[in-house]
Structure 1
């Protein structure tokens, strides 16, 4: 007898009937075989893929969603309650005023290049502002001035920094979690958010610094695609960005130096590649010169060209420019109705033709040492103490208005008499107060008392309007004044006197005869003489390149003169060592309970974490160098490349932006650290990314726990200190919980 088990095992039916007939159509040996109808039905049905989860969708589209979300948050943190305070806050008093000059088209002078201030002027133009407000510090904005729009325009540059940081971190080959950390560090950096909310240059400076780093990082990633269209695009974008950042503030030149170091290293490596054809090496060199030197210089010069084009009217900065430049401004008094040729008895102002030169000046104050005679300086502001008379020397007859007019010319020995004090321009064998190798120049005696040390010989150097050098002409003639007795030449370099000389430019008598030294060249700027007919000396144009150089040297000179005054205390100033450790903040306005207050202070975890990362990177680099020297070969070429370009270069960028403020003598404030802070943040991103890679390989959950803690700290501290960003209203005492250190003067 056969069991059921044997039957199912053999696949035979118990009753002997045919299995196919027994099981019906589509069944064979216990398996289901689809019928023709079933097959046709299945052909009509599309296969269903498993529905994707929300997390997998977000993961797939992170490259779109993340930068969009970060950008929206950036605009919120930079623009929320931006119009709350209706008073001129901190340096809005300066840069708002400069914007007004563009709207009124009045020439002004400042130590910074013009691009950022032109953008401020553009914001005012778009806001319908007419340039009439004076932007006095602490003054309330008038109703007709849409200061909120001007601030919004400015804050957009600060907001754009956040997506720029995101894409830069991606180009540096950081993992996604690190990319988010770097972006959040920029997004929730309180000082970045605060300073972006006002009419200042710093958000523009940061924006173009960020674009420069992004373009450099992308260009480096394309190093294996040399001379491709994309390679050229990013090379030229980097050059344009360098030109823009340098056109906002000269601090941008430190970022230029970083790209310069990279370029030198890149070309040096290519030079060492013996397989590379020399023609290709030459092409690389030419491409770098055009893209990273010529193009930035053209952008920088173009900003000045527009600056000169817009500011066509006479304004408060005229005296910093050459006489010919001033004479071509609308509404100027320089050269207007001035007699063309200078005669004895003429009253005139003498302009130094060196770059940044001022007007020959004297005042009743005396030198505290040396001869202790009346001071002679160079001064950029126009006043009556700049006026001098051309007089005959002591061997000639006294000047007599009744006598025929006698013109001053080449080779004449003259006296220059100060109009306000009646003293003679004088020099003697006494060392100058600052430049000890030169002779002191002073004002001495009067029209009757004096000696031959009051005599100066005129040496004409050039004339922009005539080949006839026999006479001195207003504006167009450049000449030197040689001391007849000592043989030295009247000179005004870019050396500033101490406080006792009011920080004005030192005037000396230089012993070396250097005809090409433009600081020994002078011209007559303004000229008055009732006995002479009016001329039109301002009909000659001043060349752009000369004006460009002249203004840049003047900016450099004035910037170097911004040194701390030992007799005054600047409560807003700070020292370089205080910035990386967040030792100090800055009050941006008055601290009364009835006004909205803003305190410039960074996010503690961002500052301390980024500063700590600089030290950690140094220790990590030393560790790998020592191990490499001992024969340990633990780093792959790709890892070495990552340390080099994503770690070392941000550290170099930090040093380039930080160390100059250690060395410079000028007064410094906390916002001077902000470009350097960005490179410290990138360094922090690299260090965290590198240190957490073992965790990522071991357990992703541990890695995300570490990053999650960092995210919470960055966001949490921003929220805790949000009031210093969005504005502190009411009694100062309610913010005492934010005063962690004595230097954080938030409450008192």
Structure 2
């Protein structure tokens, strides 16, 4: 019998009414049971077999998974690898200090939960390689994290079941995930990778389950799994932005499914509209709300000033407890010294320093910089064309204080270098289509290109409604949003969200750009700090409350900007970084901790069996698919619509999952590490499962059984052989020389 032929009983099942549940057999679709009488679940497996195969088996593998991930988990009592980051981020939640990171907050809030459950008070710096202090239950924190890694095993089992794999394939794939060295070692520490893998696996599992329920849509069960899919998407994207990659896989499946329904004549227009609505609600709105809710909790917990203040706007910072922004005089005057913060993608302060541009005008650099620095200070002075100059005390010749108001032309003088904010028709250095902004001249040297026009775009009231309403035409710190239009060129001072190269210290690019919209936030600025010895601060003033939506959008743009800044430094050798081509062939691994003899050492390297077997499968997969299509075209096999769907689910989507999680790291310019291959490896193992299910399982038992036994034996033996890499290496390095199969594996030296 062809592996694509379905027996008569199963064809009859598919002719049932669409509102009746379709029994799902692990061998449905591409592979059918060797014995036709054993095709249907109700007659093929007795209750005891069902309990043994579907309950006892996965429970045993789950128990083994927990054991391997918990084993010797506290042996190394030092801060290992990125525990220095994520353990510290968790402690910030306990201390309520605001921080900034490149990843969304869900994973780090879960780490904070594990720390809180141990009674940890946040009083530990998590410095890399530091020894955990006495009384700090870091073992529980690690076990909490390892639980997510261990639970990937039952998720894998039922995913492979719902994909329609035969039981030998289901158990082989699940065993591979259970014994995968990279999955185990990353689960042992306070990291985000096991959480990312778990939610990636649950998202794919939900998609597979939805496919099995495709003939029972709008039932309670289908609706529940649709909701669970949306929740899982929201969680995976809230741990790391990499979660958008598995979201794309679900999105592709959804598009194909809607296309199928569009051509289904039994589906009315009203039903088809309902299909769209429920998918928009569950697969778009629900994930977004989960993501949004995570940031709502994030902001609520981090209400004190902390290390991440510089990544946020002035309103957010000034409302933090213990803010570094001091109450200042409310009216900005000519002669006032100020710092000016952008509302653009990089909410940095306008900054300059003594260095000059390496090309272009070769005048002084003007950048955006988030942290407190005297080079952020600028002074408002009269326009070059006005002929009015301040005296040495910052006063006008007659001693009168003149406010900075809407429509007035001003000159901004850098306080440290006493040169002017300047622009001219020289192209910007990073972005295209804009003009360079530079620091040029002095009080006596300059021209009309030093002049800028104030355009006030918004004024916010004090949160203290007893405080009198301020003049909306005047410039006030914090509450006035304004633009600076170049007097001669007509372009606006702007932060592009891009960063200068190393010659600009990777600081934000500042340009003069033509803006056709008053709402272009990249051209909006506000005064943050304000100093004027001739004025006094008004202690009754309370700043406006920040808006959640503004904070949410800006912090996400700040995350994107920080991610874009994670590029390799050509002047610095990173011995931990690796390139994407190295991962599928295990060219190199990664030392997770210090390598001295006093440490229990861990080496991040995928299982050679799992990685090489899955990589070889992906390489050979085009030949397999060509053979299937060739036989179909020659009509030597019959492929019906259910067969196509099974082929797509068992092979197509795991392959798309691998490609979507691997290729972005091939083309991206940011620095990459071995652990970035972990989600892709999960999908590669699924592709290997398909190949076994198609190539091996249908063969005669005299062939298939020995092959499966060889695969199980190889997987188990390779785990045992390389187990010191993930379970910890103690003592003399030469004891582990046998593990260093290649020189590029720096396990020993």
> TM-score normalized by structure 2?
0.90
**Alpha-carbon spacing, 1:409–1:65, altered in 2? closer, same or farther (3 Å):** same
1:251 matched to 2:254:
no
Q: How big is each residue's C-alpha offset from its partner over 1:482-511, in whole Å with a ceiling of 9 and x where there is no partner?
A: 111222211111111111001111111114
When the two structures are aligned, how many residues end up with a matched partner? 690
Which of 376, 388, 392 aligns to 2:382? It is: 392
Q: How big is each residue's C-alpha offset from its partner over 1:631-657, in whole Å with a ceiling of 9 and x where there is no partner?
A: 444335443322111111110111111
1:233 matched to 2:224:
yes
1:455 matched to 2:458:
no
Mapped partners of 1:58, 1:224: distance in 2: 27
Q: CA deviation at 1:532?
A: 2.1
1:121 maps to 112
Contact 1:356 1:551 in 2 (8 A): no
2:29 maps to none
Mapped partners of 2:585, 2:289: distance in 1: 39
1:716 maps to 717
Which of 472, 479, 483 aligns to 2:482? It is: 479
Q: How big is each residue's C-alpha offset from its partner over 1:347-368, in whole Å with a ceiling of 9 and x where there is no partner?
A: 1111101133211010111111
Which of 129, 137, 161 aligns to 1:138? It is: 129
Q: How big is each residue's C-alpha offset from its partner over 1:661-703, in whole Å with a ceiling of 9 and x where there is no partner?
A: 11110000011111111111111111101112322xx33x542
2:176 maps to 185
Mapped partners of 1:265, 1:116: distance in 2: 31
Flag structure 2 segments of 5+ consecutive residues without an equivalent. 1-45, 462-468
Mapped partners of 1:281, 1:661: distance in 2: 37
1:317 matched to 2:313:
no
Larger radius of gyration between Structure 1 and Structure 2 = 1
1:741 matched to 2:742:
yes
Contact 2:344 2:494 in 1 (8 A): no
Superposition map of 1:313-352 within 5 A = 313-334=304-325, 336-352=326-342
2:159 maps to 168
1:278 matched to 2:279:
no
Please give the root-mean-square deviation of Cα atoms over the aligned residues, in Å.
1.7
2:582 maps to 578
Contact 1:99 1:121 in 2 (8 A): yes
**160-169 or 636-645: bigger deviation:** 636-645
Report the 3-state secondary structure (helix = DSSP H, G, I; strand = E; otherwise coil) of the residue aligned with 1:482: strand
Bigger relative contact order (CA 8 A; separation at least 6) = 2
1:516 maps to 519
1:368 maps to 358
**152-161 or 617-626: bigger deviation:** 617-626
1:424 matched to 2:425:
no
**264-273 or 631-640: bigger deviation:** 631-640
1:729 matched to 2:720:
no
Mapped partners of 2:404, 2:687: distance in 1: 66
Mapped partners of 1:436, 1:616: distance in 2: 44
Report the 3-state secondary structure (helix = DSSP H, G, I; strand = E; otherwise coil) of the residue aligned with 2:323: coil
Mapped partners of 2:447, 2:550: distance in 1: 39
2:63 maps to 72
Which of 174, 178, 188 aligns to 1:197? It is: 188
1:688 matched to 2:692:
yes
Report the 3-state secondary structure (helix = DSSP H, G, I; strand = E; otherwise coil) of the residue aligned with 1:539: coil
**64-73 or 243-252: bigger deviation:** 64-73
1:36 maps to none
Q: CA deviation at 1:216?
A: 0.9
Q: CA deviation at 1:620?
A: 1.5
Which of 73, 80, 85 aligns to 1:89? It is: 80
Q: CA deviation at 1:171?
A: 0.9
Mapped partners of 2:533, 2:139: distance in 1: 53
**Alpha-carbon spacing, 1:60–1:135, altered in 2? closer, same or farther (3 Å):** closer
2:591 maps to 587
1:267 matched to 2:270:
no
Report the 3-state secondary structure (helix = DSSP H, G, I; strand = E; otherwise coil) of the residue aligned with 1:145: coil
Mapped partners of 1:362, 1:594: distance in 2: 47
Contact 1:617 1:647 in 2 (8 A): no
2:534 maps to 531
Mapped partners of 1:373, 1:68: distance in 2: 68
Mapped partners of 2:474, 2:387: distance in 1: 18
Q: CA deviation at 1:304?
A: 0.5
2:675 maps to 671
Q: CA deviation at 1:343?
A: 1.1
2:564 maps to 560
Mapped partners of 2:476, 2:548: distance in 1: 22
Contact 1:488 1:513 in 2 (8 A): no
1:110 matched to 2:113:
no
Report the 3-state secondary structure (helix = DSSP H, G, I; strand = E; otherwise coil) of the residue aligned with 1:557: helix
Q: CA deviation at 1:250?
A: 0.4
Q: CA deviation at 1:58?
A: 6.2
Contact 1:475 1:537 in 2 (8 A): no
Mapped partners of 2:609, 2:640: distance in 1: 32
**489-498 or 458-467: bigger deviation:** 458-467
Contact 1:378 1:492 in 2 (8 A): yes
Contact 2:479 2:543 in 1 (8 A): no
Superposition map of 1:203-218 within 5 A = 203-218=194-209
Q: CA deviation at 1:467?
A: 8.5
Mapped partners of 1:162, 1:104: distance in 2: 35
1:29 maps to none
